[in-house]
């Protein structure tokens, strides 16, 4: 299935049915009175977060989504039937915004979460609604209200705990395949990853986290160079970034430190909040460096990078060091989840005070 993380759609709820003007006509009842029913409401347009979907491809070529209008009211006190609702299934993590103003309207973050995209119009009143002691034979009715119509932009941000970033061929796809159930395409040429891949990393019984692999970044990505800039948004919801660096590039003229600094610079240009996220350095492909040279190569890299955070040396191919990395990542993610779920303590000085409190009693 082709990965699509952006789409534009038009939604239109159903119009309400018109009210009816009708009077009872029965034998021996000369003045039967009004019995025109109300119109039915128009159908709503709902959106539901479906955990079985991971792309917006269904909306790339199916743009118009319109609910049925309500039926008109009828005589004999018969109300019109409501229009049929329609439900649009979207991946978890979809952001729905106004296509014209860019205002974010909804976010689908929980599986099964349902929202109303467009509300159906209310049905009009029949003449039985206007009956009174001074208006025994009303001939008034009202038309149905129009349903809401919206032009919407759908944007998918995958929900992952950990995001992988780095230059093309840094080994991100190999790493995610080594530690998770994801099986991305792996080859010895750049940009083998053309869309984000999600993998579930199992640490133990009921212990896991989700990792996302996005296309490799290159210098100038924030301005649109390469493929990675299209998917940087998928890293904005992660709790931790793993910056993979190829410590043993095939081209001897390539400087891993310069490449790593270029990636950090692109993050800052794209989004300050993304740049400020916790970011760990993962030095990959140590299996291609002689054992007696590894320590010196790592120290030289960290010194030139001026990096002071956690550093992991691994080989995604041979899985050397991957177990230690996975355990450390899980502990960090678990700690972040605990902090986010804890109730916030409020300083009593900032609690609302009763207006009578502290005043002298009469």
Tens of pLDDT along 222-259?
Answer: 444 444 455 677 777 788 889 888 888 777 778 888 88
Residue 19's pLDDT band, with cuts at 50, 70 and 90, is very high
Lowest mean pLDDT among 28-32, 234-238, 262-266: 28-32
User: Does 218 score more than 60 pLDDT?
Assistant: no
Residue 216's pLDDT band, with cuts at 50, 70 and 90, is low
The strand pairing partners of 10, in sequence order, are 64, 151
> pLDDT: is 267 or 282 the higher one?
282
Centre a 10 Å sphere on the Cβ of residue 304 and count the other Cβ atoms it contains. Answer: 14
DSSP per-residue codes, 188-225:
SSS----S-EEEEEEEETTEEEEEEE-PPP-TTGGGT-
Domain residues of the chain, as ranges? 1-156, 162-341
Residue 18's pLDDT band, with cuts at 50, 70 and 90, is very high
Q: What is the pLDDT of residue 116?
A: 93
User: Does 356 score more than 90 pLDDT?
Assistant: no
User: Does 4 score more than 80 pLDDT?
Assistant: no
Fold of 1-156: Spo0b-associated Gtp-binding Protein; Chain: A, (2.70.210)
Q: Tens digit of pLDDT for each residue in 79-127?
A: 999 999 999 999 888 889 999 888 989 989 888 899 999 999 999 999 8
Tokens of 247: 């410590």
CATH architecture group of domain 162-341: 3-Layer(aba) Sandwich (3.40)
Q: Which residues of 71-92 are buried (b: 16+ CB within 10 A; e: fewer)?
A: bbbbbebbbbebbebbebebbb
Q: What is the pLDDT of residue 229?
A: 52
> pLDDT: is 194 or 299 the higher one?
299
> Residue 34 carries which DSSP code?
B
User: Does 301 score more than 80 pLDDT?
Assistant: yes
Q: What is the pLDDT of residue 254?
A: 80
Lowest mean pLDDT among 33-42, 147-156, 207-216, 298-307: 207-216
Q: What is the pLDDT of residue 183?
A: 61
Q: What is the pLDDT of residue 39?
A: 93
Centre a 10 Å sphere on the Cβ of residue 234 and count the other Cβ atoms it contains. Answer: 23
**For residue 355, is it left (φ>0), alpha (ψ between -120 and 50) or beta?**
alpha
CA atoms within 13 A on the CB side of 205: 0
Q: Tens digit of pLDDT for each residue in 312-355?
A: 988 888 888 888 988 998 888 888 877 766 554 544 544 444 44
For the entire predicted model, the pTM comes to 0.65
49, containing H or E segment: strand 45-50
């Amino acid at each position: 299935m082709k990965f699509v993380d952006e789409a534009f759609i038009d939604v239109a709820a159903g119009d309400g049915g018109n009210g009816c003007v009708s009077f009872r006509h029965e034998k021996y009842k000369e003045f039967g009175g009004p019995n025109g029913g109300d119109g039915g409401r128009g159908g709503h347009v709902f959106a539901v977060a479906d955990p079985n979907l991971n792309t917006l491809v269904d909306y790339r070529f199916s743009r118009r989504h319109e609910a049925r209008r309500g039926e008109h009211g009828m005589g004999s006190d018969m109300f019109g039937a409501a229009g049929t609702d329609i439900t649009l299934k979207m991946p978890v993590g979809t952001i729905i915004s106004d296509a014209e103003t860019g205002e974010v309207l909804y976010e689908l973050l929980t599986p099964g979460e349902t929202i109303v995209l467009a509300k159906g119009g209310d049905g009009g009143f029949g003449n039985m609604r206007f009956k009174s002691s001074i208006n025994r034979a009303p001939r008034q009715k009202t038309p149905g209200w129009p349903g809401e119509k919206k032009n919407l932009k759908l944007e998918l941000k995958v929900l992952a705990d950990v995001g992988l970033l780095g230059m093309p061929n840094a080994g991100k796809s190999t790493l995610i395949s080594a530690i998770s159930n994801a099986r991305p395409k792996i080859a010895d040429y750049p940009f083998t990853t053309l869309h984000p891949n999600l993998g579930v990393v199992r640490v133990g019984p009921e212990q896991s986290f989700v990792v996302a692999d996005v296309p490799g970044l290159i210098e100038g990505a924030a301005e649109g160079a390469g493929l990675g800039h299209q998917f940087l948004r998928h890293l904005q919801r992660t709790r931790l970034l793993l910056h993979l660096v190829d410590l043993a590039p095939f081209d001897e003229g390539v400087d891993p430190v310069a490449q790593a600094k270029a990636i950090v610079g692109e993050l800052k240009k794209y989004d300050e909040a993304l740049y400020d996220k916790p970011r760990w350095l993962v030095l990959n492909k140590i299996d291609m460096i002689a054992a007696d040279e590894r320590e010196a190569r790592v120290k030289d890299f960290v010194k030139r990078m001026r990096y002071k955070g956690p550093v992991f040396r691994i080989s995604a191919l041979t899985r050397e060091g991957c177990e230690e990395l996975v355990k450390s990542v899980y502990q960090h993610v678990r700690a972040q989840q605990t902090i986010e779920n804890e109730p916030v303590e409020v300083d009593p000085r900032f609690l609302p005070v009763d207006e009578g409190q502290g005043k002298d009693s009469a």
